[in-house]
Amino acid sequence: MLHNRSIGELAAILDRREASSVELTRHFLARIEALNPALNAMISVTGAQALLEAAVADRRRGAGETGPLLGIPLIHKDIFCTDGVRTSCGSRMLDNFVAPYDATVVARLKAAGAVMLGKANMDEFAMGSSNETSFYGPVRNPWDLARVPGGSSGGSAAAVAARLAPFATATDTGGSIRQPAALTGVTGVKPTYGRVSRYGMIAFASSLDQAGIIARSAADAATVLQAMAGFDPRDSTSVDTPVPDYGSALGAPLKGLRIGLLKEFSDGLEPRNAALIAAALEVFRSLGAATLEASLPSLPLSVPTYYVVAPAECSSNLSRFDGVRFGYRCENPRDLLDLYKRSRGEGFGAEVKRRIMTGTYVLSAGYFDAYYLQAQKARQLITDEFRAAFGRVDLLLGPTTPTPAFAIGAKIDDPVTMYLNDIYTIGANLAGLPALSMPGGFIDELPMGVQLIGPHFAEGRLLNAAHQYQLATDWHDRVARGYC
């Protein structure tokens, strides 16, 4: 079936004229129509536009042009601005917002010939670990519709896991690519901060947000990252450094690679999860990698540090949504203050309000030094310890999540417990490091992920290690019942 083919296999099918991009696009649109009502993975489906883009891709191929993404369908997380298409960020605040331009990520994938099928559901303004805070309702996990897919990129992850598209764009502020990838049995890649442009990506926490990819495999993710990565003068946080050929690095042998098992990740790990990590290490040893223990003593500070820094930046970034210029506006405001209060009160959901209030508090005159400044010092400690660790090892390995996917509603009323779901992923964001999650086995018939973290701009090394692991295992080929 076409939906079970890799990006490379689909491109070869298009090259051989065994199917057209229009036919491929119709196939995936039909799957979305049939399967999405139960999953709620999509906010918008752009079927007519997709077929027009596919026809253009077919004409480009007919004229002799080739490309690994030319004519390949995708889904964009609804945090990326898309010219002429609603960009809601999963919020009532932007339910009526139609972007007048394309984000750089969108523009680069469009230039590569990828065909947008629609926009994926997400936690409101990317704030959440379960995809339950969306104004459009929770996304459901294909492996068990009563469970969450993780967040905030849960719509992207569920869509790829259910084979509604070969790949999807996503964003990661504290684990929002890797955590849902782990809980739905797909591969998620968060590049180095600054490797992929943030221009046109609606901001949550500007020093932490990073665009990335959710795909079936590391090989597919490498193909997509090749098209997305690179310097963008419109993004002040974009790093002007050459982009290597990620695909050519995939086949390199792992002999001599040093993989560190993080002590802070393994201490107290649930036994079945620990067994999966041990099994992954054994696979890497069989491939020639050396494994050793590594330690980052300040890493346990990552969760409290993140939940000071991220809300502080959120309170600043979301101040622009005031009911005046664009977005949701309350009806019949009595005066300007009433307009601000009711537009924001009615337009934002509970989790977004909680983080805005927390951020405003830690930035206030009486608490800035006690909270925000201390958090930034802890962030620097974590960054320095990662740098020191990469003097001894090439990559760090550990779990992506503490547990498999939990039931919808199980943690939504307990924010602290919810926040702890990101305990293994936040550190990489604080340090701006590249990281990925790949399928590593099952607990109670639910997928679990193995996480790899690398030094800055080591995406090629991460993808190479993950690809070799996936050649030796078949976890990434497993599909939930009913979606094969």
**377 given a catalytic annotation:** no
From 77, 119, 190, 411, active-site residue: 77
241-268: b (≥16 Cβ within 10 Å) or e: eebeebbebbeeebeebebbbbebbbee
Please, is 47 exposed, middle or buried when counting C-beta atoms within 10 Å of its C-beta (0-12, 13-18, 19+)? Answer: middle
CA 81 and chain centroid, separation: 16
User: What is the identity of the amino acid at 60?
Assistant: R
Nearest to 443 by CA among 300, 301, 269, 286: 269
**176 given a catalytic annotation:** yes
Report the side by side order of strands in the sheet with 446-453. Answer: 42-45, 115-120, 73-77, 167-172, 210-215, 187-190, 435-443, 446-453, 395-399, 258-262, 290-294
Helices (H), 185-329: 218-228, 246-249, 263-266, 271-286, 302-317
User: Do the Cβ atoms of 362 and 371 come closer than 8 Å?
Assistant: yes
**255 given a catalytic annotation:** no
User: Do the Cβ atoms of 127 and 352 come closer than 8 Å?
Assistant: yes
From 21, 44, 91, 152, active-site residue: 152
Q: Which residues are catalytic?
A: 77, 152, 176
